[in-house]
Structure 1
Amino acid sequence: MPAAPAKVLIQTPLDALKKHFGHGGFLDGQDRVIEQITSGRDGLVVMPTGGGKSLCYQLPALCFEGVTLVVSPLIALMKDQVDALVAKGIPATLINSTVAWEEQKDRLDGMRSGKWKLVYVAPERFRAESFLNALKGVEVSLLAVDEAHCLSQWGHDFRPDYMRLGKALEKIGRPQCIALTATATPIVRNDILEVLKLRDPFEVVSGFSRPNLSLAITQVEKKQQKYDRIRDIIGAHKTGIVYCATRKKVEEVAETLAAWRIKSVAYHGGMSDAERSDAQNIFLAKKADVAVATNAFGMGIDRSDVRFVIHFEVPGSVEAYYQEAGRAGRDGEAAACELLFNYADTRTQEFFIEGANPGAQTIREVYQYLLNTADKEYEIHRSIEDITEGAGLKNSMAVSSALATLGRAGYIERFDVPGKRMRGTRLKKPDVFARALEIDEAALEEKDRRDRDKLKSMIDLCYARVCRQQWILAYFGEDDADTCGTCDICRSGESHELRAPTAEEDIVVRKALSGVARMSRKTASGWEGKFGRGKIVQMLCGSRSQEILSGGLDQLSTYGILKNQGTGYLNALFRSMGDVGLVRVDAGEYPLLTLTDLGEKAMRGAAKYRLAWPPPVASGHVESLADQGFDAGLFSQLRDLRARLAKREDVPPYVIFSNKTLEALCRYRPKTIEEGLAVPGIGESKAQRYLPRFLEILKEWR
Structure 2
Amino acid sequence: MEKIENEQEKIGTEYLEQCTAEDEQQKDTEDTVMAAAKRAFGISYLYPWQRLVIENILDSAQNPESEDEFSCHGKQIVLLPTGAGKSMCFLVPSLLLKGPTLVLYPLLALMSDQKRRMDDAGIESVVFRGGQSKEEREENFARIQNGAKIILANPEVLLSEGLAERLALCKIAHVAIDEAHCVSEWGDTFRPAYLELGRIIRTLEPKVVTAFTATASSGVLSRISDVLFGGPVHIIRSDSDRPNIRYYVVNAYSKKRAAFRLAVMERKPLIIFCGTRGNAEDMARELAAYLGSDKVKFYHAGLEREEKDAVEKWFYPRDDAVLCCTCAFGMGVDKKDIHCVIHLEPSPTAEAYLQEAGRGGRDGSVAKAILLWSRADSERYASFKEGSRERVLAKFAESTTCRRQILLDALGGEQAACSGCDVCERGEAAPFASDAGAVLKLVGRRKKSYDADSLSAAAVSELNRRDLNIFGEYVWNHADAERVILQLMGEKKLKTCGWPWRGKITLCRDGFLQNKRSRSTAGGTS
* Secondary structure of 1:58's aligned partner: helix
Partner of 1:465: 400
Matched, 1:97 2:31: no
The amino acid that maps onto 2:402 is C
Partner of 2:264: 234
Q: What displacement does 1:16 show?
A: 0.9
> Equivalent of 1:247, from 244, 257, 277?
277
* Secondary structure of 2:173's aligned partner: strand
- Comparing 74-83 with 165-174, greater Cα deviation is found at 165-174
Judged with a 3 Å threshold, the aligned counterparts in structure 2 of structure 1 residues 270 and 125 are, in CA distance, closer, same or farther, namely closer
Partner of 1:373: none
Summarize deviations over 1:424-476 as a string: whole Å, max 9, x none. xxxxxxxxxxxxxxxxxxxxxxxxx7899433221121112111111101110
Partner of 1:621: none
Partner Cα separation in structure 2 for residue 199 and residue 454 of structure 1: 23
TM-score, normalised via structure 2 length: 0.68
Partner of 1:371: none
Matched, 1:132 2:164: yes
Judged with a 3 Å threshold, the aligned counterparts in structure 2 of structure 1 residues 320 and 453 are, in CA distance, closer, same or farther, namely same
Contact 2:288 2:297 in 1 (8 A): no
Partner of 1:29: 49
Matched, 1:67 2:2: no
Partner Cα separation in structure 1 for residue 405 and residue 338 of structure 2: 23
Partner of 2:376: 344
Summarize deviations over 1:132-186 as a string: whole Å, max 9, x none. 2212421211111111111125889973211111111222224311111112111
Partner Cα separation in structure 2 for residue 15 and residue 122 of structure 1: 30
Contact 1:36 1:202 in 2 (8 A): no
Contact 2:373 2:397 in 1 (8 A): yes
Q: What displacement does 1:333 show?
A: 0.6
Partner of 2:433: none
* Secondary structure of 2:329's aligned partner: coil
Output the aligned Cα RMSD.
2.9
Q: What displacement does 1:227 show?
A: 2.4
The amino acid that maps onto 2:418 is C
Partner of 2:420: 486
Partner Cα separation in structure 2 for residue 70 and residue 166 of structure 1: 14
Partner Cα separation in structure 2 for residue 156 and residue 137 of structure 1: 30
Write the mapping of 1:411-450 to structure 2, written as runs, cut at 5 A. Answer: none
> Which consecutive unaligned segments of at least 5 residues does structure 2 have?
1-27, 61-73, 429-526
Identity of aligned residues (%): 33
The amino acid that maps onto 2:40 is H
Contact 2:269 2:318 in 1 (8 A): no
Judged with a 3 Å threshold, the aligned counterparts in structure 2 of structure 1 residues 252 and 291 are, in CA distance, closer, same or farther, namely same
Q: What displacement does 1:222 show?
A: 3.1
Partner of 2:286: 256
Judged with a 3 Å threshold, the aligned counterparts in structure 2 of structure 1 residues 34 and 80 are, in CA distance, closer, same or farther, namely same
* Secondary structure of 1:477's aligned partner: coil
Contact 1:43 1:177 in 2 (8 A): yes
Q: What displacement does 1:325 show?
A: 0.8
Partner Cα separation in structure 1 for residue 185 and residue 281 of structure 2: 30
The amino acid that maps onto 2:269 is T
The amino acid that maps onto 1:471 is I
Contact 1:485 1:491 in 2 (8 A): no
Partner Cα separation in structure 2 for residue 160 and residue 452 of structure 1: 26
Which has the higher relative contact order, 1 or 2, with Cα contacts under 8 A spaced 6 or more apart?
2
Write the mapping of 1:232-631 to structure 2, written as runs, cut at 5 A. Answer: 232=262, 234-262=264-292, 263-286=295-318, 289-345=321-377, 453-479=388-414, 481-493=415-427
Q: What displacement does 1:206 show?
A: 1.4
Judged with a 3 Å threshold, the aligned counterparts in structure 2 of structure 1 residues 69 and 483 are, in CA distance, closer, same or farther, namely same
Partner Cα separation in structure 2 for residue 244 and residue 326 of structure 1: 16
The amino acid that maps onto 2:78 is V
The amino acid that maps onto 2:184 is S
Contact 1:241 1:291 in 2 (8 A): yes
> Equivalent of 1:85, from 118, 136, 157?
118
Write the mapping of 1:92-241 to structure 2, written as runs, cut at 5 A. Answer: 92-111=125-144, 113-153=145-185, 159-197=191-229, 201-223=233-255, 227-228=257-258, 230-232=260-262, 234-241=264-271
The amino acid that maps onto 1:320 is A
The amino acid that maps onto 1:120 is L
Partner Cα separation in structure 1 for residue 110 and residue 188 of structure 2: 18
* Secondary structure of 1:140's aligned partner: coil
Matched, 1:50 2:80: no
Partner Cα separation in structure 2 for residue 153 and residue 339 of structure 1: 21
Partner Cα separation in structure 1 for residue 378 and residue 189 of structure 2: 18
Summarize deviations over 1:487-540 as a string: whole Å, max 9, x none. 00100129xxxxxxxxxxxxxxxxxxxxxxxxxxxxxxxxxxxxxxxxxxxxxx
The amino acid that maps onto 1:237 is R
* Secondary structure of 2:334's aligned partner: coil
* Secondary structure of 2:418's aligned partner: coil
Summarize deviations over 1:221-250 as a string: whole Å, max 9, x none. 334xx5246424532413200111122222
Aligned length: 387
Partner Cα separation in structure 1 for residue 387 and residue 297 of structure 2: 32
The amino acid that maps onto 1:467 is C
Summarize deviations over 1:14-64 as a string: whole Å, max 9, x none. 221122122222024211111111111321101111010011011111111
The amino acid that maps onto 2:416 is D
Partner Cα separation in structure 2 for residue 470 and residue 105 of structure 1: 51
Summarize deviations over 1:517-572 as a string: whole Å, max 9, x none. xxxxxxxxxxxxxxxxxxxxxxxxxxxxxxxxxxxxxxxxxxxxxxxxxxxxxxxx
The amino acid that maps onto 2:354 is Y
* Secondary structure of 2:393's aligned partner: helix
The amino acid that maps onto 1:490 is C
The amino acid that maps onto 1:247 is R
Judged with a 3 Å threshold, the aligned counterparts in structure 2 of structure 1 residues 233 and 126 are, in CA distance, closer, same or farther, namely closer
Judged with a 3 Å threshold, the aligned counterparts in structure 2 of structure 1 residues 331 and 9 are, in CA distance, closer, same or farther, namely closer
Judged with a 3 Å threshold, the aligned counterparts in structure 2 of structure 1 residues 152 and 242 are, in CA distance, closer, same or farther, namely same
Contact 1:42 1:198 in 2 (8 A): no
Partner of 1:572: none
The amino acid that maps onto 2:270 is G
> Which consecutive unaligned segments of at least 5 residues does structure 1 have?
1-7, 354-448, 495-702
Judged with a 3 Å threshold, the aligned counterparts in structure 2 of structure 1 residues 255 and 156 are, in CA distance, closer, same or farther, namely farther
Judged with a 3 Å threshold, the aligned counterparts in structure 2 of structure 1 residues 71 and 236 are, in CA distance, closer, same or farther, namely closer
